[in-house]
Structure 1
Amino acid sequence: MMNMKKIKIVHLYYDLMNLYGENGNIRYLKRKLEEQDFDVSVSFQSIDDAIDYTKGDFYYIGTGSEENKKIVLEHIIKDKDKINKAIDDNKYFLVTGNALDLFGKKINTEDDEIEGLGIFDYEVNEEDLRVVGEQYYESKLIKEKIVGFQNRNSILMNNGANTLFKVIKGTGNKPNDLEEGILEKNFFGTYLLGPILVRNPYFTEYIVKKICKDFNVKYKKIDKDVSYKAYQEYLNNFYNE
């Protein structure tokens, strides 16, 4: 097709932060952008690479083990100024699961304080008690509800940024907190893990529409795929909607 808009997705630390099949988010987003006639390329970057935060349009990082998270932090922290500028420049970031820990001021463990990227003012406490289970949220971005799963020992404290979701059932950034995630410009961060874009097709649709607007591409309505049916069946079975 003539004059297809090019867009580059960068899957950050794809080998270390892909504990729950997060690469499904990349495949689904790529397909949804291609349906809008984007020419989509995907770059896989990790600790052996010099990551360029000016060449990509959409950066994604998912969930890893606690050990891998700290390995990634040692590598990514040298790029904190570049990442901060990329966010200021309205690059898209989707950060899921415990990758969200990396973007705060510090991570407090039982034995240590580890410096974070400092993009946002929050701190993270690693606790012995884990937050595990299905989550049911709402968002000011879309009218449809958000579903997902958490499995984390991270408690996000002292958040001064805008939040992405509001808890209906489940856990927020910390216990008894109704706010979950981080929303700043085109930065979408949440402790929901796994293929959340596949599980939440309306949320993905919102992101794709926003990208289309930013790239001056007219959004065209596409027939709903099986992910929409799966989403609705899940709501019907578990939340009686």
Structure 2
Amino acid sequence: MKLKIGHLYPDLLEIYSDRGNITVLRKRAEWRGIEVQVDRISIGDDVNLVEYDLLFSGGGEDREQMQVAEDLLRKRDTLLRAVASGTVVLAICGSYQLLGHYFETVNGHRIEGVGLLDFYTIGGQRRLTGNVVSKLTIFNFECTVVGYENHSGRTYLGPGVAPLATVVSGHGNNGEDGLEGVVQGTVFGTYLHGPVLAKNPLLADHLLQLALKRRTDRPYLPPLEDEWEWLAHERLVRKFARMKLTCPRRVYNEVDR
């Protein structure tokens, strides 16, 4: 089996080692015998995004966001078709903001998003920074997700989408409503850097399993020997939220076997 991953704008949107998420996805798939092809896609590239099982894009500064926004709008139709076909999307920070209706910077400049999801972002005078611990449900279990945030934007979700997680420690989307990220179907947005998937192996496997559903009706990911990854995750949860790990280390649904 082969998975095809598109890395969007790696030359422009890459802060806090976000590209490490591609490495995590590739290795956790290859360790299970799944071949992975990663293509770099940037401004001006004429590409059919429907060909990809998973699309990833990282964070960047306002200047780079403006450049990317114009090109992403040109790719909007192929992005919408990809999502409709079941392509998984993971967008971090600046890329996350571009999935919504718009991002209005602190200077009042409006960067138009692709409107893929129902939310908008407003720039704030004070940056929201620090380590984050949040909770979300994966494979029908409540799990912890950890990462690092640094953003001036305050994101507000509309009624058409759900938060990815609820904040235990940190700021999240806007520092007000206790929500972090967004999820709708196979589209995921988050402010968490880290890279986030290196710190959260269960979330990485969840995305891989969703991507595999484009290839097979019964996706199954055999367990990995990832004790060190889980020890690192557990230590971060204790350090930043002073709580014990809540999610099981290996969760696989019988229905997917």
Cα displacement (A) at 1:240: 4.1
| 2:133 is aligned with 1:136 | yes
Judging changes above 3 Å, is the alpha-carbon distance between structure 1 residues 45 and 166 closer, same or farther for their aligned structure 2 residues?
same
Q: Map Cα deviations across residues 176-208 of structure 1 (whole Å, 9 max, x no partner).
A: 212221111111111112310001112112223
Q: Secondary structure at the match of 1:43?
A: strand
Q: Measure the CA separation in 1 of the matches of 2:83 and 2:58.
A: 17
- Structure-to-structure mapping, 1:13-32, within 5 angstroms: 13-32=9-28
Q: TM-score, normalised by structure 2?
A: 0.86
Partners of 2:200 and 2:115 lie apart in 1 by 29
Render the CA deviation track for 1:86-120: whole Å, top value 9, x for unaligned.
11221010111121111111222323333211112
Aligned Cα root-mean-square deviation (Å): 1.7
Q: Secondary structure of the residue that 1:95 maps to in structure 2?
A: strand
Give 2:131's aligned amino acid.
E
8 Å CA contact retained: 1:63, 1:194: no
Q: Give the match for residue 233 of structure 2.
A: 231
Q: How many residues align?
A: 237
Q: Is the 8 A contact 2:163 2:182 kept in 1?
A: yes
Task: Give runs of ≥4 in structure 1 deviating > 4 Å.
Answer: none
One-letter code of the match for 1:227?
Answer: E
Unaligned runs of 5+ residues in structure 1 are none
Residue of structure 2 in register with 1:151 after alignment: 150
Q: Which residue of 1 aligns with 2:191?
A: 191
Secondary structure of the structure 2 residue equivalent to 1:162: coil
2:117–2:184 CA contact under 8 A, matched in 1 = no
Structure 1 residues 1-241: aligned runs within 5 Å: 5-109=1-105, 110-141=107-138, 142-160=141-159, 161-216=161-216, 217-238=219-240, 239-241=242-244
Q: Partners in 1 of 2:93 and 2:113 — Cα distance? A: 16
State the percentage of identical aligned residues. 26
Query: Given residue 102 of structure 1, which amino acid in structure 2 is its aligned partner?
Result: L
> Which segments of 5 or more consecutive residues in structure 2 lack a partner in the other structure?
245-257
Opposite residue 100 of structure 2, the aligned amino acid is G
How far off its partner does 1:230 sit? 1.3
1:32 alignment partner, SS class: helix
178 and 237 in structure 1: CA distance in 2 versus 1, 3 angstrom threshold: closer
